Structure 1
C-alpha cells in the first residue's frame, strides 16, 4: 500500500477510486515525481476539498434559487388570496349592510303594525263605549238590571 493509499484511507475511510488514482498519477507526472510524494498527496487532498466545497456551493445556489422561486409562488398565492379575501370581505360587508337594512324594514313594519293595532284597539274601545252609552240611553228605565 502506497503512502497515498494509506493517507487517503485514513482521511476518507475508503480506497482510492479509479478516477482519483488517475488524477494523482497526472499530478505526479506534472510535477515530475511519484504518487508517494507528500506534495502530490496534499495537492490531491486540496483538489478533493475544493471540489467538495464547489459542489456544496452549487447545491447551496440551487437551493437558494429554488427558495426564491418558491417564495415568488408563495407571494403570488398570497396576493391572490388577499384579493379573493378582500372581495369576500366586501361581499360580507354588503351582506351585513343588507341585513341591517332588512332588519330596519322589519322593525319599521312591526312598529307600524303595533301603532295600527293600538289605534284599532282605541277605536274599538271607543266604539264599544259609544255602543254602551247608546245602549244605556235606549234601555227603558224599568228594565235595568241591578238598579
Structure 2
C-alpha cells in the first residue's frame, strides 16, 4: 500500500476509485515522478478540495436561485392579497358608512315621528276639550258674550 492509498483509506475511508487512480497516474507522469510522491498526494487533495468547493458553490447558487424565485412568487402573491384586502377594506368601510347613515336616518325619523305624535296628541287633546265645552255649553275661551 503506497502513500496515496493510505491517504484515501484514512481520509475517505475507502479505496481509490479507478478514475482517481488514473488521475494520480497522469499527474505523476506529468511531474515525472511516482504516485507515491507526497506532492502528487497533495495535488490530488487540492483537486478533491476544489472539486468539493465547486460542487458546494453550484449547490449554493442553485439554492440562492430557488430562494430568489420563491421570494418573487411570494411577493407577487402578497401583492395580490394586499390589493384584494384593500378592496375588501374599502367595501367594508362603505358598508359601515352606509350603516351609520341609515342608523342616523332611522333615529331622525323616529325623533320626527315622536315630535309629530306629540303635536298630534296635543291637537287631539285640544280638539277633545273643545268638543267637551261645546257639548256642556261652557263658554269658549277667548270669546266674550
TM-score bucket of the superposed structures, by smaller chain: 0.7 to 0.9
Indicate whether 1:23 and 2:23 are aligned: yes
Aligned-pair CA distance for 1:59:
0.8
Corresponding residue of 2:62: 62
> 1:63-82 alignment to 2 at 5 Å?
63-82=63-82
Corresponding residue of 1:44: 44
Give the ranges of 4+ consecutive aligned residues of structure 1 lying more than 6 Å apart after TM superposition.
Answer: none
| Alpha-carbon separation, structure 2, partners of 1:17 and 1:132 | 127
> 1:1-147 alignment to 2 at 5 Å?
1-137=1-137
Q: Deviations over 1:9-51 (max 9, x none)?
A: 1112222222211211111111122111111111000000000
Corresponding residue of 1:145: none
CA RMSD of aligned residues (A): 1.5
Structure 2 unaligned residues grouped into runs of 5+: 139-145
Q: Deviations over 1:106-145 (max 9, x none)?
A: 112111111111112112221222233233327xxxxxxx
| Alpha-carbon separation, structure 2, partners of 1:17 and 1:122 | 114
| Alpha-carbon separation, structure 2, partners of 1:137 and 1:25 | 144
Aligned length: 138
Structure 1 unaligned residues grouped into runs of 5+: 139-147
| Alpha-carbon separation, structure 2, partners of 1:26 and 1:45 | 15
Aligned-pair CA distance for 1:6:
0.7
Secondary structure in 2 matching 1:15: coil
| Alpha-carbon separation, structure 2, partners of 1:135 and 1:26 | 139
| Alpha-carbon separation, structure 2, partners of 1:22 and 1:127 | 126
